[in-house]
């Protein structure tokens, strides 16, 4: 068995230790004689799994008591709709457009009300985070929305916008649990877990209790109301049981690694290896304004499409996979999530140096 270095943006690399544990428990979970996949979500064994997952997540992020944690399904893209359905009381909200995922959320919100563009970095192909210190936020806006880490373009909000007192709603899919955050700064934050935490199909919503209510937009399905899931501890219907179990294992792994501060330091070291090389390379160059660089997704180009394609192909042959940039941007992108080991990034840079020598 040979594992490659997987630089995919998502679904993405998971800690090997977690996969091995899951494999060992596949046929008989903890003496139950069955797989977690085969187990009732109402069973005692499963209840322990989901409760521990929530508690471990609360510990990792230091989530205050007045925030609910919801394990949902439908991917991050379904949250683009559930946010306005649940939060757009005045049918008006502000959106900051920093890439495709923010744009998609913005387009979805327009189905339900007035979504206002507060700022955008579209003028320079989303290669930076716009100044968000004095946005045209009006009193009748229900919330301000951002995509905190832009998976495709490789930018990250290192300072959260001034929302002028409005609840901040943030998509953290590709930076969730990569570093500590102050949950109290958000009204709601959420993540599709397949980027940094677990298998596709699970979404995690962390929301301040006072924002949860029965008064959603008319026609909101029961399953789309945060209140339904909050009132039932994410067990209103059958949740994505196996996915949540794997997320729970990743939470335990993160705790064992020293928690999110330790993870942040590790991620900074890893990213620095790659960014330092990009800054000195004569062939490759990063595409993002330096102060807005993401620790998780690192896009880069040679400036020559044929050479980019050759690089991706030869890297794959060398065991460095999924380095092709997003289909809408081209070039390359290395996603270096929590579970990407330091050696993976070192191997990548070594390979880039060799490629540069051969092709310059
Ligand atoms: C991948 C991604 C999404 C979409 O996730 P799905 O689960 O496929 O709907 C949304 N936002 C961000 C930031 C992402 O990286």
105-125, pLDDT tens digit by residue? Answer: 999 999 999 999 999 999 999
Mean pLDDT (whole number) for 277-306 = 97
145-204, pLDDT tens digit by residue? Answer: 999 999 999 999 999 999 999 999 999 999 999 999 999 999 999 999 999 999 999 999
Handedness of CA 160, 163, 164, 167 (dihedral sign): negative
pLDDT reported for residue 327: 80
- Ligand 1 pocket check: which of 80, 97, 99, 192 to mutate, most ligand atoms within 8 Å of Cβ? 192
Residue 315 pLDDT level (bands cut at 50, 70, 90): very high
Question: Closest ligand 1 atom, CA of 10?
Answer: 1
Name, in order, each residue with C-beta under 8 angstroms of 103's C-beta and a sequence gap of 6 or more: 97
pLDDT reported for residue 1: 67
Residue 328 pLDDT level (bands cut at 50, 70, 90): confident
pLDDT reported for residue 155: 98
Interatomic CA distance for residues 168 and 181, integer angstroms: 14
pLDDT reported for residue 281: 98
Interatomic CA distance for residues 303 and 48, integer angstroms: 52
pLDDT reported for residue 329: 80
Size of the chain, expressed as the number of residues it contains: 360
Interatomic CA distance for residues 171 and 189, integer angstroms: 6
pTM above 0.95, yes or no: yes
Q: Which two tokens stand for residue 132?
A: 């968000």
Q: Is the pLDDT score of 2 beyond 90? A: no
Residue 101 pLDDT level (bands cut at 50, 70, 90): very high
Protein residues whose CB sits closer than 6 Å to any atom of ligand 1: 10, 75-77, 101, 147, 151, 171, 173-174, 192, 195
Task: Indicate which residue of 68, 92, 195, 225 is catalytic.
Answer: 195
Q: Which two tokens stand for residue 180?
A: 């500590």
**Would you tell me how many other CB atoms lie within 10 Å of the CB of residue 48?**
12
Interatomic CA distance for residues 10 and 196, integer angstroms: 8
Distance from Cα 75 to the centre of ligand 1, integer Å: 7
Look up 171 and say whether it is catalytic: yes
**Would you tell me how many other CB atoms lie within 10 Å of the CB of residue 26?**
11
Residue 93 pLDDT level (bands cut at 50, 70, 90): very high
Look up 214 and say whether it is catalytic: no
Distance from Cα 183 to the centre of ligand 1, integer Å: 20
Interatomic CA distance for residues 360 and 355, integer angstroms: 8
Nearest CA to ligand 1 atom 3: 76
Look up 249 and say whether it is catalytic: no
Interatomic CA distance for residues 246 and 53, integer angstroms: 9
The fraction of the chain above a pLDDT of 90, given in percent, is 98
Interatomic CA distance for residues 169 and 147, integer angstroms: 9
Interatomic CA distance for residues 280 and 356, integer angstroms: 12
Mean pLDDT (whole number) for 280-297 = 97
Three-state DSSP class for residue 244: helix
pLDDT reported for residue 332: 98
Question: Closest ligand 1 atom, CA of 99?
Answer: 13
Strand arrangement, sheet containing 285-286: 285-286, 297-301, 332-335
36-89, pLDDT tens digit by residue? Answer: 999 999 999 999 999 999 999 999 999 999 999 999 999 999 999 999 999 999
Nearest CA to ligand 1 atom 8: 75
**Would you tell me how many other CB atoms lie within 10 Å of the CB of residue 38?**
12
Under 8 Å between Cβ of 332 and 324: yes
């Amino acid at each position: 068995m040979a594992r490659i270095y997987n630089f995919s943006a998502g679904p993405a690399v998971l800690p090997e230790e977690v996969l091995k544990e899951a494999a060992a428990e596949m046929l008989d979970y903890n003496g139950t004689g069955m797989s977690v996949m085969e187990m009732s979500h109402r069973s005692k064994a499963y209840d322990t799994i989901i409760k521990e997952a929530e508690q471990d997540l609360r510990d990792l992020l230091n989530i205050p008591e007045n925030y609910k944690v919801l394990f949902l399904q439908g991917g991050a893209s379904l949250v683009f709709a559930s946010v306005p359905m649940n939060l757009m009381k005045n049918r008006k909200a502000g959106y900051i457009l920093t890439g495709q995922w923010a744009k998609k959320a913005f387009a979805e919100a327009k189905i339900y009300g007035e979504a206002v563009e507060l700022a955008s970095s579209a003028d320079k192909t989303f290669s930076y985070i716009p100044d968000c210190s004095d946005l045209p936020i009006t009193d009748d806006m229900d919330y301000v929305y951002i995509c905190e880490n832009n998976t495709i373009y490789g930018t990250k909000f290192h300072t959260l916008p001034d929302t002028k007192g409005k609840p901040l709603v943030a998509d953290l899919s590709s930076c969730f649990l990569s570093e500590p955050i102050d949950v109290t700064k958000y009204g709601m934050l959420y993540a599709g877990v397949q980027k940094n935490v677990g298998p596709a199909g699970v979404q995690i919503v962390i929301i301040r209790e006072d924002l949860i209510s029965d008064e959603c937009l008319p026609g909101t399905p029961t399953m789309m109301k945060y209140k339904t899931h909050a009132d039932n501890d994410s067990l209103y219907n059958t949740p994505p049981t196996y996915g949540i179990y794997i997320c729970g294992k990743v939470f335990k792994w993160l705790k064992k690694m020293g928690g999110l501060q330790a993870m942040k330091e590790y991620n900074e070291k890893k990213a620095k290896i790659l960014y330092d090389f990009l800054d000195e390379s004569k062939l490759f160059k990063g595409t993002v304004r330096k102060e807005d660089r993401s620790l998780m997704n690192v896009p880069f180009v040679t400036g020559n499409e044929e050479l980019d394609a050759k690089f991706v192909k030869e890297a794959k042959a060398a065991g460095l996979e999924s380095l092709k940039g997003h289909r809408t941007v081209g070039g390359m992108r290395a996603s270096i999530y929590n579970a990407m080991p330091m050696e993976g990034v070192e191997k990548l840079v070594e390979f880039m140096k060799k490629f540069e020598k051969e092709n310059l």
